[in-house]
Amino acid sequence: MIALLKFVHIAAIAIWTAGLISLPSLYVQRAHVENDDALYRMQRMTRFAFVAIISPAAFIAVASGTGLSFMRDVFSPWFSWKLGFVGLLAIFHVFSGLVIIRLFRDGEVYPAWRFVVATASCCAVVVAILTLVLAKEAPDVSLPAVMSEPGGLKRLLDPINPWATP
């Protein structure tokens, strides 16, 4: 059972991350579309990829990973780091959906520099996750002592918080 769940998890992660890495290359092609018919086809293809392939793969990856976490020992520091990077992937996923909604309006383009930053940062997160999973070791980074004290986060953020809190 665990082997099957791992297979499903790895396959879903592969589809999800490949989709997140490849979507910016579709976005940047928006500037090269000549007519409305081609733009409509590109929009349909991009939305189909996001809604019918990438989003279900993300759901299956998270659900199967949750199932695996109940079947395995996950009380290790590396696993917490991995979950943090998976959270970053989820943020990339949400931003991709927002870009798809906005990108196909009249006059919108996706700059090449944003394509490079989005692709490189997503690749970096995927490499970090793979490194953590394969090494099964957490980075030797510790939080400041104030983060482990009750009320420490409030004391840490009070000087930069623009709103007064009771």
Among 44-58, 95-109, 142-156, the range scoring the smallest mean pLDDT is 142-156
Q: What is the CA radius of gyration of the chain?
A: 20
What is residue 121's predicted lDDT score, i.e. its pLDDT?
A: 96
How much is the pTM? Answer: 0.82
Q: 63 pLDDT band (50/70/90 cuts)?
A: very high
Rounded distance, CA 58 to CA 43, Å?
A: 21
Q: Up-side HSE of residue 160: CA atoms within 13 Å toward CB?
A: 3
Predicted local confidence at residue 166, as pLDDT: 64
Q: Is the pLDDT of residue 138 over 80?
A: no
Does position 48 have pLDDT exceeding 70, yes or no?
A: yes
pLDDT digits 0-9 by tens, 81-128: 899 999 999 999 999 999 999 988 888 889 999 999 999 999 999 999
Q: What is the pLDDT of residue 51?
A: 96
pLDDT for res 91 = 96
